[in-house]
A and B are shown apart, each in its own frame.
Chain A
């Protein structure tokens, strides 16, 4: 039983394209997140979202947008892809009332050519 899953695992695309990464959690958590891990392994929060509030890291370009069709899903849409968007993107979830432990997905490696 996979707790947090992401698709696709690998994504190779060209500059200028629009792409989406899907994330699903089956833990019944109320909050989901997207993180970006660059080539130097730096991990940075992009978004935090529950059904009431979206919090955006101010450094994230507005080409990136999270979309949540329901509590179990938080998809990441990226418009007009740039070379610098190449990274590994991690989805995570948590149940805030039970403390701050976050459960991470396996990551999606995005390569922009």
Chain B
């Protein structure tokens, strides 16, 4: 069975501080992982995916198969980064299994 774990429910940092949102997964096949973000009063939207190896809004995430992790990082947090972040794994039927989510609060 596939599983995604985000150990932190809440992460609070000051503006300009580095941010790391943790994500660990378990999956028997070759994983395809994503980070989705939900800003206040907005719909869930894709932030980035591991196969793209891109940086979006200053965020990056590297798939570490040895540690089965896909942590999301940003070197300098901005207030507008405050949101709910979900790590997700795609499985059968193209269905996403989400982690429990981490609320990021960036304080001024």
Q: Give per-residue flags for A32-72: 1 if the beta carbon is below 8 A from chain B beta carbons, else 0.
A: 01010000111111001000010101000000000000000
Chain A residues whose CB sits within 8 angstroms of the CB of B93 once the complex forms: 48, 53, 55
The docked-state distance in angstroms from the alpha carbon of A53 to that of B34 is 24
Chain B contact patch, size range: 20 to 34
Instruction: Pick from A43, A48, A57: contact of B94, CB below 8 A.
Output: A48
Interface residue ranges of B27-63 to A (CB < 8 Å): 32, 34, 43-46, 49, 51
How many residues does chain A have at the interface if contact means C-beta atoms less than 8 Å apart? 27
A residues 55-113 in Cβ contact with B at 8 Å: 55, 57, 90, 92, 94, 96, 99-107
**Is B92 within 8 A of A55, CB to CB?**
yes
Which residues of B are in contact with A by a Cβ distance under 8 Å?
32, 34, 43-46, 49, 51, 84, 86, 90, 92-98, 100-101, 103
